[in-house]
Copies of this chain bind each other. A is one copy, B any other.
Amino acid sequence: MKLKSKILNIEAGNFVVVIHEEDAKEMGICIIDRVEVYSDNCKNKLNAIPNFTKIYLNKGEIGIYEEVRQMLNINDGDMVDVSLSSRPVSLEYIRKKIDGINLSDEEIKAIVRDIVNGNLSSVELAGFVIATYVHEMTSSEMISLINAMVETGQNIDFGENVVDKHSIGGIAGNRTTMLLVPLIASANLKIPKTSSRAITSASGTADTMEVLAKVEFDVEKIKDIVGKTNGCMVWGGAINLAPADDKIIKVEYPLSIDPDSQMLASVMAKKKSVNAKYLLVDIPVGRGAKISNTEKGKKLGNEFINIGAKLGIKTRCLITDGYSPVGNGIGPALEARDVLIALDYENYKNKTAEKNHGNFKIPYDLINKSLDMAANIFEMAYHLTSFGDFQSKFENNKKDEYRKTAEEILKTRALKKMREIIEAQEGNPEIKAEDIVIGENFYDVQAKYTGKVKFISNWKISQIARASGAPYDKKAGIYLKISVGDFVRNNESLFTIYSSSAHKLQHAIELAERLNPVEIGGAIIEKIE
């Protein structure tokens, strides 16, 4: 049937067209079908998901979403040829998985191809994601999913000796990547780290790094940065490492589900795409963390290790303390300042604040966690012969050498390496902690009782920091003055909230009052009635 195009000027996220209900009936198209759209302009065709209307199109018209317009080069008013097409066979496989039946390699690849090609509606995609949540994927299904994600995405070859790290997240602050990358790159290993931006947290590594340098680069430029410095800290969203994953995430968030299988596949596909050989995974556990206890953390860790083995990625997992934020600052600028202090902590030991609400409290927890992680990476990779100046340190594979060497690198080289990377990523390599501007509106939240700090809720701290404007307002966030175990007195300052906006600061203060993120004294964890 020939239909007249009406350009809608809006993206659908997939290949979608709108058809008048009468035309759809005449063509025998129903809600489960696909239509083939052919345009004479480029002598090309595609399969699209039909939506139906009887109001905003006349019979004989077809509404063209942006993705279809671009692909077929259609102008408003152009005639296109529309006919009933077959529905993607992958829908059958999704239906199978909903019914709890395991899928074959070919079936999973068909699903991933259809996800990437925009052939599945969001409802159909949700069907797949929920099915893999309710009926856990087998490890061979997961390998299929990972391979399919790698095949349908961008692959970047950084050569040999590529190591990587990943944190499953949920902890405020926790910018270990920004210490680890310069530490590891200083020891001559390659660590091309791609990170995410915050979705529900106050800052992602990419948001924090962006305070110091650019983070959005194309593949060629990333290769160039890593070629020069051995490391990078860039936003993964700018390159298509696993495009299927980006679409899956859009469905997971609204449902607040994150099937372990999808999370594992997503992480491992991205590591595989950069040809990583060693991977360290940070799994924070505890009250308020994503994983509630060590046992569950170990189970997840073993899955990472098994999948890694099958993909040729030697994987080690660290179960870490997820009971409170890591670092003092939460929010892009506050975290970036922590990082710069940590990389030069000997120097900041005796410095006092001068400007920019300077708080030069050294984030020892962040430093120690990062050093432990670096030591683990060195240990995993000890038999490589590429540690440059540090080669001799590791030749006897002695446990304490790894951590000692990490410390030595932090004291002697890491800041220099960080500056190289900042420069390669087009930032100002001379930037100092005290140069980082923090929000001019601030408020001190005080203790209401005297006692020991029992618990600091990662989730609540993140919500308050978001209310203050983070991560969009880079200068907004929270600066923690205490940590778990500290003894505080009534009315003593617990944390400061910063914001560029007086209005948002007010909103964050109210939220802090309501949420009470720092628990003092009490032994009560939960009330049940």
**Contact surface of A with B, Cβ cutoff 8 Å:** 8-11, 18, 25-26, 28, 30-32, 53, 55-56, 63, 66, 91, 94-95, 98, 100, 121-127, 130-131, 133-135, 199-200, 250-251, 253-257, 466-467, 469, 471-473
In the bound assembly, the distance between CA atoms of A121 and B467 in angstroms comes to 25
Decide: A256 and B126 in contact? CB cutoff 8 A.
Answer: no
Decide: A32 and B466 in contact? CB cutoff 8 A.
Answer: no
A127 CB contact (under 8 Å) in B18, B94, B255:
B255
Q: Please, could you name 15 A-B residue pairs with CB atoms under 8 Å apart, sorted by A?
A: A10-B53, A11-B55, A25-B472, A28-B466, A31-B199, A31-B253, A91-B255, A91-B256, A95-B255, A98-B130, A98-B133, A123-B254, A127-B130, A127-B254, A134-B134
- Quickly give the copy total for this chain: 2
Q: Contacts A10-B56, A63-B10, A126-B130; is A28 near B254 (CB within 8 Å)? A: no
Closest to A249 in B: B31
A254 CB contact (under 8 Å) in B31, B135, B257, B472:
B31
Q: How far is the CB of A335 from chain B (nearest CB, A)?
A: 17
In the bound assembly, the distance between CA atoms of A123 and B128 in angstroms comes to 11
In the bound assembly, the distance between CA atoms of A253 and B31 in angstroms comes to 7
A32 CB contact (under 8 Å) in B28, B126, B200:
B200
**Cβ contacts under 8 Å, A124 to chain B:** 254-255
Q: How far is the CB of A272 from chain B (nearest CB, A)?
A: 26
**Cβ contacts under 8 Å, A26 to chain B:** 472-473
**Cβ contacts under 8 Å, A18 to chain B:** 10
In the bound assembly, the distance between CA atoms of A134 and B98 in angstroms comes to 7
**Cβ contacts under 8 Å, A66 to chain B:** 55-56
Q: Contacts A30-B199, A122-B122; is A257 near B98 (CB within 8 Å)? A: yes
A257 CB contact (under 8 Å) in B63, B95, B121, B250:
B95
Q: How far is the CB of A210 from chain B (nearest CB, A)?
A: 12
Closest to A24 in B: B472
In the bound assembly, the distance between CA atoms of A510 and B374 in angstroms comes to 67
Q: Which 4 A-B pairs have the closest CB atoms?
A: A25-B472, A126-B126, A123-B126, A127-B255
In the bound assembly, the distance between CA atoms of A95 and B251 in angstroms comes to 13
Q: How far is the CB of A239 from chain B (nearest CB, A)?
A: 17
In the bound assembly, the distance between CA atoms of A251 and B130 in angstroms comes to 14
In the bound assembly, the distance between CA atoms of A94 and B257 in angstroms comes to 11
Q: How far is the CB of A48 from chain B (nearest CB, A)?
A: 14
In the bound assembly, the distance between CA atoms of A472 and B55 in angstroms comes to 19
In the bound assembly, the distance between CA atoms of A131 and B124 in angstroms comes to 14
Q: How far is the CB of A512 from chain B (nearest CB, A)?
A: 15
In the bound assembly, the distance between CA atoms of A253 and B98 in angstroms comes to 14
Decide: B94 and A250 in contact? CB cutoff 8 A.
Answer: no
**Cβ contacts under 8 Å, A28 to chain B:** 466-467, 469, 472
In the bound assembly, the distance between CA atoms of A91 and B98 in angstroms comes to 20
